[in-house]
Chain A
Amino acid sequence: MNMSWGEFTGTLMQKAAELGVPIEGQFELTSRCNLRCNMCYLGRGANDADAIKRERSAQEWIRLAAEARDAGMLYLLLTGGEVFIRNDFREIYEAISKMGFNIMIYTNATMITKDIADWLGHIPPSQVEITLYGASPEAYSYICGSSEAYTKAVQGIDLLLSRDITVSLKTTVVQGNADDFEKIAEFAQKRSIDFGVVNYVSPRREPGNTRPESERLSPEKLAEYEMRVQNYLNKGNRKKTYSVFKADKPSVDVKEYPFYCTSGKCSFWITWDGRMTPCGLMNEPATFPFEKGFDNAWEELQEACCSLPVCTECDECSLQDYCMSCIARLWSETGCYDRPASYLCRHAQSRKALEELGR
């Protein structure tokens, strides 16, 4: 009865992966966002008419959640875009919160008002994970297109904390905020909340106006940044309760499977327009749960994932221990499942070189 959260989840995920139970779902409720972050892999404008038209309705999401629950979904992430931009988010969340899930919400916190914090405080999710894009209005102005968003994000975080909602914080490292790491870490430290770094910025999944590749750090600078983060954390006395680098995803042990992680084995992603994919970075393979039903879509997705080709060059590479490559990132970087990605290769080389320098 007294297993740690990590042990409990790890054991359950492993069992689910072995049995092909879709225990973990990610519902991308919208692609729209009130911010215009220049490195976003997905975001569209807040009033994008095409996106609004193609979004799935609240009732459709609620019905899908019920089907997924019956198939074994326990962990549910609600993400976007920005989920609070949907006028019907309350309707979706209130229904889903009574279905028997462990729910996490991703948000930029800038739309959290007193009213929303009060409401959510009465029916809280297990956790709200917030991305802080910088430590100043200037950083937010450059990255997100709004200097005011910094103050709003800080206010949103503090409002949620004041309602005793479990909050964790992360930052996505890009050129515009790489210098802010220590300040963001101190911000989290001051509030005693978990903190992580999204160290991989993916190219866009769909066409759009942002430019992730030109805003992310070069592979060499990223490796240096990671070293700086590690050195900071190693100074001690700082709260570090989970793996700080989000890109180094924990895996389950599933033999003969193209994904290192749980994707397509016991977890899935539903895009804002209603496709089921193994991972939020990927447009394919895709199946159609709203049209064909959850069970059929899940079965088809598992089959499709099993037949994906594997990159033999990556499999035989001596830098594997340094590399954050996976099939989704290869696809995202190169458009192929089985071709090495130059960005990831250079990053692994840089990590190794820095480690050797440090010896």
Chain B
Amino acid sequence: MLKIKDGFMLREIAGTMVVVPLGERVIEFNGLMSLSESGALLWRKLEQGAEIDELVDLILSEYDIDRDTARADIEEFIAALKEKGLLNS
């Protein structure tokens, strides 16, 4: 299961979704990250923990997009989160 690590907060600031590290998380991620609307949707799901298929279903329920494209975009998003060390697995 994919899950966002504890210690990150998703905030909406002036219409922009921004991820902020809290407390000790600044050691590994000293900065901010903005997310698109769909990125924020995925992030919220990932805060609870989710499998890729669940994320694909979530995006398909909200956006008019085909499954293969959705999966490819989500895999890219997950890879970026992993690269930044934001995911537990």
Contacts and interface: CB of A to CB of B under 8 A. Distances in A.
B66 interface: no
Interface stretch (B23-31, B43-51, B54-62, B67-75): B23-31
Contacts of A164: 27
A298 to B, nearest CB: 14
Contacts of B32: 8, 74, 102
B13 A12 contact: yes
Given A124-B26, A125-B26, A1 B80 contact: yes
Nearest to A19: B14
A212 interface: no
A166 B27 CA distance: 10
Given A1-B80, A124-B30, A166-B30, A12 B23 contact: no
Contact of B13 (A74, A123, A124, A126): A74
A166 to B, nearest CB: 6
A102 B24 contact: no
The secondary structure that dominates the A interface is: loop
Interface residues of B, number: 19
B14 A12 contact: yes
B22 A98 contact: yes
The secondary structure that dominates the B interface is: mixed
Contacts of A100: 9, 11, 20, 22
A5 interface: yes
Given A1-B80, A101-B20, A15 B26 contact: no
B33 interface: yes
A23 B13 contact: yes
B37 to A, nearest CB: 14
Contact of B34 (A8, A97, A125): A8
Chain A interface category by residue count:
20 to 34
Interface string A111-143: 000000000011111100000000000000000
B26 A126 contact: yes
Interface in A7-25: 8, 11-12, 15-16, 19, 21, 23
B40 interface: no
A98 B27 CA distance: 13
A21 B13 contact: yes
Contacts of A12: 13-14, 16, 18, 34
Contacts of A166: 30
A102 B22 CA distance: 9
Contacts of B33: 1
B62 to A, nearest CB: 20
B34 A15 contact: no
Contacts of B80: 1
A125 B20 CA distance: 12
A15 B14 CA distance: 6
A98 B14 contact: no
Interface of B: 9, 11, 13-16, 18, 20, 22-24, 26-27, 30-34, 80
18 contacts: A1-B33, A15-B14, A19-B14, A21-B13, A21-B14, A72-B13, A74-B13, A74-B18, A74-B20, A94-B23, A98-B22, A100-B11, A101-B20, A123-B23, A123-B24, A123-B26, A126-B26, A266-B14
**6 residue pairs, one from A and one from B, having the closest CB atoms:** A100-B9, A16-B14, A15-B14, A21-B14, A123-B23, A100-B20
Given A8-B32, A15-B15, A166-B30, 18 more contacts: A1-B34, A5-B31, A11-B16, A12-B18, A15-B14, A72-B13, A74-B13, A74-B20, A94-B23, A97-B22, A98-B22, A98-B23, A99-B22, A101-B20, A123-B23, A123-B26, A126-B30, A266-B14
